[in-house]
Amino acid sequence: MRLLLIAVISCSGGGPKVPAAPTPRVQWQVAVQVPAELKFNMLTLDGAVADPGERPVLFFREGLHVSTTADRAALSVDPVASSTRVVKVEGKDAWTLTLANGRAVRVAHDVVPAAAQWFDVDGGLVAVSAATDTTFAHVDDRGAVVWSAHVGAIGRDVAFLGTSHGRALFQLSSARGSDVIALDLAQHTAAVAVHGQLGRGVLAERMNQLAIVGRERIEVFDLATGTRLRELALPPFSQRTAFSDDATLGFDGDVVWMYFYAPPATGDTVRVVRGEICGYDVYDARSGRVLRTLASATWKQMTEGCAVRALLARPDGGVLAVRVDGPSAATVTKLDRAP
């Protein structure tokens, strides 16, 4: 069962008053529609990617993804549930692996262990399997292993963090902490880049830095050397407005932010026992000081009434804000930085 810790349950945000930041610049904005019978209020956003034209594809846990173009949104329902997850369907002699972009690759059963986890890394397949150690295998379009590498680190949970300076970064988490593994797909190498606390890793690609956000502190690392640059204490839970296992995170080298949204909760009957809640905290990545919350952020009008259901970090330091405008209508806004 997930532990959910929330200090403030006000749609308008709460917490101490802190100075507002300059208003972020809107880079683009696009409207999204889904069929009326689906309703955005019933969907749980699981992630987003953007193509080179910076048009987003939104992924929902319910198996839905919405692809937008400059003037419309195309909708399809399929098993793809996130931007980096790969759908694996077992056949008699091979698996069929479908990537987020729809491309399918057939991989024989004996190529990699059956328990391997598969990831879509910039349109390519990476298999991760852990036994006495962890093996990373890069698989081509024909289903053959191009190269593989072993690392001593073992983690019960594996997450793909993204790419930075030509390396694909994976986080292996266990009770003893987090190991971040850097895969150089060109040089065919894999090595532990960072060892840190148990927490969630988030990249600042422009700065080639990594933040690991734990329950009590934030660790910031230089990915080029693996050096821990600083350790920042987080405020007590009672002073935070956004903290849960489902909060989205962002880091651009200057700030670390957390955004959280939860829909209304009902009891044993249809009676609503708690309204929708949202929270937003921005921390200085050098001092740990709280810079702003939802109550003081410059996007307060956009998110009034908890209308912003998700804030999603982008590799360039910007963010995607997904605002629900009605049961079947939403607006995706690309901001040049965290609001």
> Is the model's pLDDT at 125 over the cut of 80?
yes
The confidence band for 277, taking pLDDT boundaries of 50, 70 and 90, is confident
Please give the Cα distance from 143 to 95 (Å, whole number). 9
Rounded-to-integer distance, Cα 293 and Cα 313, Å: 17
**229 domain-assigned:** yes
| pLDDT for the residue numbered 332 | 83
In a domain, 142, yes or no: no
What pLDDT is attached to residue 269?
58
Q: Is residue 226 part of a domain?
A: yes
In a domain, 83, yes or no: no
With respect to residue 84, please indicate whether it lies within any of the assigned structural domains. no
**Does any domain span residue 38?**
yes
Q: In the chain, how many domains are there?
A: 1
List CB contacts of 279: < 8 A, sequence separation 6 or more: 6, 7, 8, 13, 14, 240, 241, 242, 243, 247, 258, 259, 260, 293, 294
Compare 230 and 244 and report the one with higher pLDDT.
230
pLDDT, average across residues 58-82 = 52
Reported pTM: 0.80
List, for residues 8-43, the tens digit of each pLDDT value.
Answer: 333 444 444 444 456 789 888 877 777 676 677 666
Of the ranges 98-107, 163-172, 214-223, which one carries the lowest mean pLDDT score? Answer: 98-107
User: 259: domain range?
Assistant: 26-73+153-335
The model's confidence at residue 78, banded by pLDDT at 50, 70 and 90, is very low
pLDDT of 270? 55
Residue type, 271: R
Geometric angle at alpha carbon 329, from 327 and 331, rounded to 5°: 135
How many Cβ atoms sit within 10 Å of the Cβ of residue 141? Answer: 12
Residue 234 inside a domain? The answer is yes
Whether pLDDT at 282 is above 90: yes
| Residue 105, in any domain of the structure | no
Pick the more confident residue, 72 or 224.
224
Averaged confidence pLDDT in the chain? 78
Whether residue 3 has pLDDT greater than 70: no
Tell me, what CATH number does 172's domain have?
2.130.10
| pLDDT value of position 189 | 92
Question: From CA 95, how far away is CA 129, in angstroms rounded?
Answer: 16
